[in-house]
């Protein structure tokens, strides 16, 4: 029989979802325009624009494990507050610079505010195991609503106030989230439990955790590569201001499939829905090679659907296989590889464009998606 959330769990879940939703709104609103904006800065090249998009993922990956370990010892709340401050400072630096190298530095600072592992760990601390997939699904739905709003208002704001001023607006949004956590979210956790935690090297020997973390790398690689390729094509065909017509259906379909998949995962079908999600990612990656608005729209819908199923299911699975006092470290490992995918995707793509054909380029996410299927199948 399916257990329902109690009042305290539901309030915390919605509150954390809102915080992550505001963060997602800020980041997603900017991502489609990073390459386009980078080309307007002093000293730009295609590779440096790809690096500007991807370096956010690299520094996010670097900080996930240390922040996760510290949160296991010092608590989730203070580390999330520190991470959000780093992200806010990165937005402010992006606002004041007109140089591609300083912009890359600003994006690196944004990435160093690595709070996702800690947020998932905090959710894992509060929610019981038999409700974790649904909890991640609900939080993911709220985050996805932020993404929908971003794709709806992002192009409008881009045309009305420019990306430069959007950085300033995002800093304000996240400052509101910072005060919300400080004043309204309470952490009921015994810090002394950290003495019982497993060392990071022991966790790295956990084959299930590593397989799931590699899956995180794969789905974020596919998503970030799509963010590098599709907006440029859409800008030339329907214009940057109309990108919402492609991305919003993708996010909405992703929400629907994520809700369904989360329920199925809680009922013991995690493997099946995850393997299907990787199949969908592979088909979506093949679709965006065909340079028509129709096929790019289909590709975006499929990639968002597969991504959102996995972005809620994989962290839920990780939280189920590790003890509470190891969740920060374990989620740090997961998010490190996940954000490495966000770094490698656009950076490698920017390097390979012009060196290999587009079909050869898209073989990479397709092969990675097949690898994801194999890894999920081998996991217990």
* Cβ proximity of 276 and 258 under 8 Å: no
pTM: 0.76
DSSP string, 87-150: HHHHHHHHHH--BHHHHHHHHHHHHH---HHHHHHHHHHHS-GGGHHHHHHHHHHHHHHHHHHH
| Residues across the chain | 380
Decide if 83 is inside a domain: yes
Query: For residue 354, what are the contacts with CB-CB under 8 A and spacing of at least 6?
Result: 46
Any idea what DSSP says for residue 99? Answer: B
The pLDDT-based confidence of 291 (bands split at 50, 70, 90) is very high
Decide if 169 is inside a domain: yes
Decide if 231 is inside a domain: yes
Q: What is the mean pLDDT of residues 28-37?
A: 85
Is 365's pLDDT higher than 50?
A: yes
Instruction: Give the count of domains, the chain.
Output: 1
Domain CATH for 113: 1.20.1250.20
Decide if 135 is inside a domain: yes
304-334 confidence digits (pLDDT tens): 999 988 988 888 888 788 877 777 788 888 8
Decide if 2 is inside a domain: no
Query: What is the structure's pLDDT at 177?
Result: 86
Query: What is the structure's pLDDT at 2?
Result: 57
Decide if 1 is inside a domain: no
Is 192's pLDDT higher than 50?
A: no
- Quote the domain boundaries for residue 251: 7-187+197-378
Report how far residue 183's alpha carbon sits from residue 179's, in angstroms, rounded to the nearest whole number: 6
From the CB of residue 8, how many other CB atoms can be counted at a distance below 10 Å? Answer: 10
Query: 220 or 263, which is more confident?
Result: 220
Report how far residue 132's alpha carbon sits from residue 327's, in angstroms, rounded to the nearest whole number: 13
Task: At 350, list the tokens.
Answer: 């920017």
Report how far residue 9's alpha carbon sits from residue 3's, in angstroms, rounded to the nearest whole number: 12
54-100 confidence digits (pLDDT tens): 898 889 888 988 888 888 888 889 999 999 999 999 999 999 999 99
Decide if 353 is inside a domain: yes
The pLDDT-based confidence of 256 (bands split at 50, 70, 90) is confident
């Amino acid at each position: 029989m399916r257990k329902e959330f109690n009042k305290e769990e539901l309030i915390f879940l919605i509150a954390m979802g809102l915080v992550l939703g505001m963060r997602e709104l800020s980041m997603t609103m900017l991502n489609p325009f990073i390459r386009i904006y980078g080309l307007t800065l002093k000293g730009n090249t295609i590779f440096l624009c790809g690096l500007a998009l991807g370096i956010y993922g690299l520094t996010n990956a670097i900080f996930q494990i240390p922040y996760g370990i510290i949160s296991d010892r010092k608590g989730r709340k203070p580390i999330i507050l520190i991470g959000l401050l780093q992200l806010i400072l990165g937005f402010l630096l992006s606002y004041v610079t007109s140089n591609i190298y300083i912009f890359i530095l600003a994006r690196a600072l944004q990435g160093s505010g690595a709070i996702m592992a800690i947020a998932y760990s905090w959710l894992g601390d509060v929610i019981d195991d038999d409700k974790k997939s649904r909890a991640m699904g609900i939080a993911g739905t709220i985050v996805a609503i932020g993404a929908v709003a971003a794709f709806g208002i992002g192009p409008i704001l881009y045309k009305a106030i420019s990306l430069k001023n959007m950085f300033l607006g995002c800093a304000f949004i996240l400052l509101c989230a910072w005060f919300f956590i400080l004043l309204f979210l309470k952490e009921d956790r015994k810090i002394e439990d950290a003495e019982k935690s497993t060392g990071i090297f022991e966790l790295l020997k956990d084959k299930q955790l590593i397989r799931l973390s590699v899956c995180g790398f794969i789905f974020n690689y596919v998503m970030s590569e799509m963010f590098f390729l599709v907006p440029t094509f859409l800008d030339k065909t329907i214009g940057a201001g109309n990108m919402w017509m492609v991305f919003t259906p993708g996010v909405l379909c992703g929400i629907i499939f994520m809700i369904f998949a989360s329920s199925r995962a809680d009922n013991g079908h995690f493997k099946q829905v995850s393997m299907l999600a990787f199949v969908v990612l592979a088909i979506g990656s093949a679709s965006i090679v065909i340079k028509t608005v129709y096929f790019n729209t289909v590709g975006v819908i499929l990639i968002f659907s597969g991504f959102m199923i996995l972005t809620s299911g994989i962290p839920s699975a990780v939280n189920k296989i590790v003890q509470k006092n190891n969740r920060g470290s374990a989620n740090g490992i997961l998010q490190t590889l996940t954000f490495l995918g966000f770094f490698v995707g656009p950076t490698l793509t920017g390097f390979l464009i012009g060196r290999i054909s587009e079909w050869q380029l898209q073989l990479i996410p397709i092969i990675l998606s097949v690898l994801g299927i194999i890894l999920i199948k081998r996991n217990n």
